[in-house]
Homo-oligomer: A and B are copies of this chain.
Amino acid sequence: MRTPAYDDLHGRHQRLHRLSHLQAITSWDQSANMPPKGNEARSLALAEMQGLLHELATDTALKDLLARAEAEPLDDVQRANLREMRRVRRASNALPQKLVQALSLANSRCEHAWRTQRPANNWAGYLENFREVVRLAREEAQCLADSSGLGLYDALMDRYEPGMRAAEVDRVFGDLRQWLPDLIREVEARQAGEPTLQPVGPFASAAQRALGHGAMRLLGFDFEAGRLDESAHPFCGGVPEDVRMTTRYSESNFLQSLMGTVHETGHGRYEQNLPRPWLGQPIANARSMALHESQSLSFEMQLGGHPAFAALLLPLVRQQLGEQPAFEERNFARLLTRVSPGLIRVEADEVTYPAHVILRYEIERALIEGHIEAEDIPALWDEKMMELLGLDTRGNFKDGCMQDVHWGCGLFGYFPCYTLGAMYAAQWFAAMRRAMPDLDARLAAGELGAVFDWLRVNIWSQGSRWETPELAKRASGEALNPAHFRAHLQSRYLA
Given that A23-B22, A25-B29 are contacting pairs, would A242 and B34 also be in contact in the complex, using a CB cutoff of 8 Å?
yes
Looking at A38-46, A354-362, A418-426, A468-476, the stretch in contact with chain B turns out to be A38-46
* A26: B residues at CB distance < 8 A: 21-22, 25-26
Chain B residues, Cβ within 8 Å of A226: 35, 38
- For residues 216 through 261 of chain A, which have their beta carbon under 8 Å from a beta carbon of chain B? 222-227, 239, 241-242
Min CB distance A210 to B, Å, is 14
Residues of B within 8 A of A394 (CB): none
Q: Separation in Å of the A32 CB from the closest CB of chain B?
A: 9
CA–CA, A406 and B44, complex, Å? 31
A319 in contact (CB, < 8 A)? no
Q: How far is the CB of A247 from chain B (nearest CB, A)?
A: 16
What is the distance, in angstroms, from A415's C-beta to the closest C-beta of chain B? 29
Name the B residues within 8 Å of A91 (CB-CB).
none
* CB atoms of A33 and B227 under 8 A apart: yes
Q: Is A49 an interface residue (CB 8 A)?
A: yes
A241 pairs with B37, CB closer than 8 A: yes
Q: Does A277 contact B (CB under 8 A)?
A: no
Judge whether A399 is part of the interface by a CB distance below 8 angstroms: no
Are A225 and B38 within 8 A (Cβ)?
A: yes
- Nearest chain B CB to A18 CB, angstrom units: 4
State which of B49, B52, B223 has its C-beta within 8 Å of the C-beta of A35.
B223
Q: Is A437 an interface residue (CB 8 A)?
A: no
Contact check: which of B35, B48, B227, B241 meets A41 at CB < 8 Å? B241
A224 proximity list for chain B (CB < 8 A)? 35-37
Interface SS of chain A: helix
1/0 per residue A79-101: CB within 8 Å of B? Answer: 00000000000000000000000
Residues in chain B near residue A222, CB distance under 8 A: 37
Question: Given A29-B29, A48-B15, does the pair A242, B35 have CB atoms closer than 8 Å?
Answer: yes
Q: How far is the CB of A318 from chain B (nearest CB, A)?
A: 25
Among residues 10 to 66 in chain A, which have CB atoms less than 8 Å away from a CB atom of chain B? 15, 18-19, 21-23, 25-26, 29, 33-38, 40-42, 44-49, 52
Task: Specify which of A22, A34, A241 lies most central, judged by the most chain B CB atoms within 10 Å of its CB.
Answer: A22
Nearest B residue to A222, CB-CB: B37
Distance between Cα atoms of A49 and B227 in the complex (Å): 24
Closest-by-CB residue of B relative to A15 is B48
Tell whether, in the assembled complex, residue A48 and residue B18 are in contact, meaning their CB atoms are under 8 Å apart.
yes
A59 to chain B, nearest CB (A): 14
Indicate if the CB atoms of B225 and A19 lie closer than 8 Å: no
Cα distance A35–B213 in the bound complex, in angstroms: 15
List of B residues within 8 angstroms of A42 by Cβ: 21, 25, 241-242
> Most chain-B Cβ atoms within 10 A of its Cβ — which of A40, A223, A241?
A241
Task: Check if A239 sits within 8 Å of B38, measured CB to CB.
Answer: yes
Question: Which residues of B lie under 8 Å from residue A47 when comparing CB positions?
Answer: 18
Closest-CB distance, A173 to chain B (whole angstroms): 39
Q: What is the bound-complex CA distance between A223 and B242, given in angstroms?
A: 27
Residues of B within 8 A of A223 (CB): 35
Docked pose: A227 CA to B222 CA in angstroms: 27
Which 3 A-B residue pairs are closest in the complex by CB-CB distance?
A: A38-B242, A21-B45, A37-B225
Question: A-side interface residues toward B, CB under 8 Å?
Answer: 15, 18-19, 21-23, 25-26, 29, 33-38, 40-42, 44-49, 52, 222-227, 239, 241-242, 279
List 16 additional contacts besides A18-B47, A26-B26, A37-B222; criterion CB under 8 Å. A15-B48, A18-B45, A18-B49, A22-B22, A22-B46, A33-B227, A35-B224, A35-B227, A35-B242, A36-B224, A37-B224, A37-B242, A38-B225, A38-B241, A41-B239, A52-B52
22 contacts between A and B (CB under 8 A): A18-B41, A18-B44, A18-B45, A18-B48, A19-B48, A19-B49, A21-B44, A21-B45, A22-B46, A25-B25, A34-B242, A35-B224, A35-B225, A35-B226, A35-B227, A36-B224, A37-B224, A37-B225, A38-B225, A38-B226, A41-B242, A41-B279
